[in-house]
Amino acid sequence: MSSQRIVPPVARFKVMTLAEYKKVYQESIRDPVDFWARQSKKLLWEKPWTSAITGEPPRSRWFEGGRLDPYQNVMGKHRDTPVWSRVATIYESEDGDVEILTYWRLDDMAGRIAGWLESQGVSKGDWTLLYAPPTPEAIAFMLASLRLGAPFEPVFTGFGWYELAKRLRNRSPKVVFVVDGYKRRGKEISLVETTEKAIEASGVETKILVSNRLGLRLPRLHETYPLDDALHENHTADSRVVDSSDPIFGLHPGYEDDFKPVSFPAGGYLTQAYATSYWLGLKPLEVLFNTVWPGWITGVTYLLFGPLMTGTTIVLYDGAPDWRSWDRWITILERYAVTIFLTTSGAVRALSKQNPETYRKHNYDTLKAILVTAEPLDTDTWSWAYRQLGTLNRPIIDSDPTVLSGAIPVVNLYIQSEIATFATGNLPSYTFPHIVPGTNGPPIPGFHLDILSDGRLVVKNPWPAMPVEAPEEYYEKWSEGFYNTGDLATYATDGYIQVLGRRDTVMKINGYRISPGAIEKAIETLPGVKRALVAGKPDTQKFEAPVVIVEGRAGTEQVRKLIREYITPIADPAEINFTDKIQYATRHELKNMLRNL
């Protein structure tokens, strides 16, 4: 942790003092209901809400009595404004193919897909699901579901068939949208077989809509339709009005025992997503490159909802960060005049291992801020990012490119799926006091965060986007009258929050929240395996890496292959050990042992 206080030159004239920040923050948590009620007035309500909040957390409901049109709040409101003719999405494939959609063209695509979905029997309240990389048609499919008032769940394509089947069983979607495949480091990755296996294993009857990007075969399942059928649909469905507490989308965050479904409310979520996106500086004429896909909460909020609600241009890159060299992302910043770059701490650590001259040869002077999230960003990596990526080619005030003195903010923000948006961090367009490297910054107004004497990071007040559907583990986290995030933290310089990692046994691997229990259950399907135990150990690049202990007989490569195919290659173990009898009773015991090595 650093005791430095950094004010980047570009922020020199808008930085606020710590006292000014504390005044704004304390006022917000003194009456958080009034604070968020005022933010909700920035949405378009078909019927105004009658009560800002009802019920006690964790079962509180926000903006009760209110009804709104989610699609109108995300896309429709831009019609007849200058935003409508501006670029909504810039898509670049790994091969370098580029596709550009304006807001009105994206709206047209979403409307046609919504019309097709409606013709297939999808209506308000029906779930849809998508298993696709970041493509324009995937964005349009989510918007089409939103248009019908049909909640959707995006599934990260890094998950295997076993995890996809789990989500299919839990959501029972009327329609599944899938891309036939994508390229990573020049290799074609097919999603067809994974989708077929998952649907068959789930036992769910559903219809499949396929975007045939690579020209692979369509899934050999009963009701499979090419995307062209939907795009040639002449009927465009009208957008629907929903209740404030109706679910708008869902995810399966990693809990200790498994990945489990969580759903978010329309009114509260859109209030929080719009407010925090605006505070980050998203607005018309800004160009955002977010490397996190909507299979994770940072992607849902800050690649889909937030940018489109604010009229921002979104860059979608469907490829590996190092193909064909490690400056691919930096080339994207330069090529599309990106103004805000959002990525993970793990990605920044990976970039920092490369030759910095690879990046310095590019001119991306349009960049205004680098936002980093997902897991702790250590002081040394922050300093590298500030000097090497955050120094622009042109001098700004006292920023000197010749000595890499830094120019633009590098901001580390804390987010969690259940909270749905960033909850700590310096906000370029709202509360921006000095930066303390190595920390997650100060709490964001509206979120009453505290760190208890045992290091638990907790939230003491309800927030608008709090889940309307969640597993029992979520409700148990409220048992003491506040929300226990499961994260370990400490107070740093000036009362800033420094998140240290997970306090429970959920793993953070390269920024991904992975359930150890899910891995154990998959391993225990192997013949000859009686029991499996999984916990994370510290890793300098990944932050954590799984260690697997297997009670029984199986091959090392057999276990490794199963984890990669059933769960995700992200969870590839650092160690796999076999024993006749596991000596650790719990994951916590194993985790503590690994921490003490």
For the chain, give every domain's residue range.
70-240, 507-595
Lowest mean pLDDT among 188-197, 213-222, 491-500, 501-510: 213-222
- Provide the pairing of β-strand 45-47 with 67-68: antiparallel
The DSSP H or E segment spanning 589 is: helix 587-595
Structure confidence at residue 235 as a pLDDT band (50, 70, 90):
confident
Q: How many CB atoms lie within 10 A of CB 493?
A: 16
Distance between CA 512 and CA 233 in Å, rounded? 37
Amino acid at 211: S
Asked whether residue 361 carries a pLDDT value surpassing 80, the answer given is: yes
Tell me what pLDDT residue 215 has. Answer: 94
Distance between CA 502 and CA 337 in Å, rounded? 36
- The closest of 472, 476, 494, 495 to 485, measured between CA atoms, is 476
How much is the average pLDDT of 546-569? 97
Instruction: Please enumerate in sequence order all residues whose Cβ is within 8 A of that of 457, keeping only pairs 6 or more positions apart, or say none.
Output: 449, 450, 451, 485, 487, 488, 489, 497, 499, 503
Q: What percent of the chain has pLDDT over 90?
A: 95
Give me the residue label for tokens 């490569």: 557
- Give me the helix-helix angle, 161-171 and 192-202, nearest 10°: 50
91 to 100, 176, 182, 578: CA distances (angstroms): 6, 22, 13, 46
- 507-595 has which CATH code? 3.30.300.30
> Contact at 8 Å (CB) between 261 and 252?
yes
The DSSP H or E segment spanning 315 is: strand 313-318
- The closest of 292, 236, 22, 25 to 117, measured between CA atoms, is 236
Asked whether residue 597 carries a pLDDT value surpassing 80, the answer given is: no
CA 406 to chain centre: 27
Q: What is the largest CA-CA distance in the chain?
A: 69
Amino acid at 554: A
Amino acid at 508: K
CA 584 to chain centre: 33
pLDDT tens figures, 269-301: 999 999 999 999 999 999 999 999 999 999 999
pLDDT tens figures, 71-130: 999 999 999 999 999 999 999 999 999 999 999 999 999 999 999 999 999 999 999 999
Tell me what pLDDT residue 302 has. Answer: 98
Distance between CA 292 and CA 156 in Å, rounded? 10
Q: Is 487 exposed, middle or buried (0-12, 13-18, 19+ CB in 10 A)?
A: buried
pLDDT tens figures, 4-55: 999 999 999 999 999 999 999 999 999 999 999 999 999 999 999 999 999 9
Q: What percent of the chain has pLDDT over 70?
A: 100
Amino acid at 286: E
Name the class of domain 70-240: alpha beta
Question: What are the helix (H) ranges across 192-265?
Answer: 192-202, 227-231
> Contact at 8 Å (CB) between 295 and 154?
yes
Asked whether residue 2 carries a pLDDT value surpassing 70, the answer given is: no
Residue 58, preceding peptide bond in cis (omega within 30° of 0): yes
- The closest of 205, 124, 191, 132 to 160, measured between CA atoms, is 191
How much is the average pLDDT of 189-204? 95
> Contact at 8 Å (CB) between 223 and 207?
yes
Instruction: Please enumerate in sequence order all residues whose Cβ is within 8 A of that of 285, keeping only pairs 6 or more positions apart, or say none.
Output: 86, 313
Tell me what pLDDT residue 72 has. Answer: 98
pLDDT tens figures, 508-548: 999 999 999 999 999 999 999 999 999 999 999 999 999 99
Going through 363-466 in order, the beta strands assigned E by DSSP cover 369-373, 410-412, 414-415, 422-424, 449-451, 456-459
373 to 167, 339, 537, 539, 574: CA distances (angstroms): 25, 17, 20, 17, 24
Q: 377-382 long-range CB contacts below 8 Å, 24 or more apart? A: 377/345, 377/348, 377/412, 377/438, 378/438, 379/1, 379/2, 379/437, 379/438, 381/345, 381/348, 381/349, 381/352, 382/2, 382/410, 382/412, 382/437, 382/438
Tell me what pLDDT residue 221 has. Answer: 81
The DSSP H or E segment spanning 562 is: helix 556-562
Computed on alpha carbons and rounded to an integer, the radius of gyration of the chain in Å comes to 23
Distance between CA 71 and CA 150 in Å, rounded? 11
Distance between CA 122 and CA 118 in Å, rounded? 5
Tell me what pLDDT residue 218 has. Answer: 82
- The closest of 574, 516, 509, 537 to 375, measured between CA atoms, is 509
Structure confidence at residue 1 as a pLDDT band (50, 70, 90):
low
Going through 446-587 in order, the beta strands assigned E by DSSP cover 449-451, 456-459, 483-491, 497-502, 507-509, 512-514, 529-539, 543-552, 575-579
Tell me what pLDDT residue 164 has. Answer: 98
pTM, two decimal places: 0.97
Asked whether residue 454 carries a pLDDT value surpassing 70, the answer given is: yes
> Contact at 8 Å (CB) between 351 and 372?
no
How much is the average pLDDT of 346-357? 95
> Contact at 8 Å (CB) between 43 and 459?
no
Tell me what pLDDT residue 398 has. Answer: 87
Instruction: Please enumerate in sequence order all residues whose Cβ is within 8 A of that of 535, keeping only pairs 6 or more positions apart, or say none.
Output: 505, 507, 516, 546, 547, 587, 588, 590, 591, 594
pLDDT tens figures, 133-162: 999 999 999 999 999 999 999 999 999 999
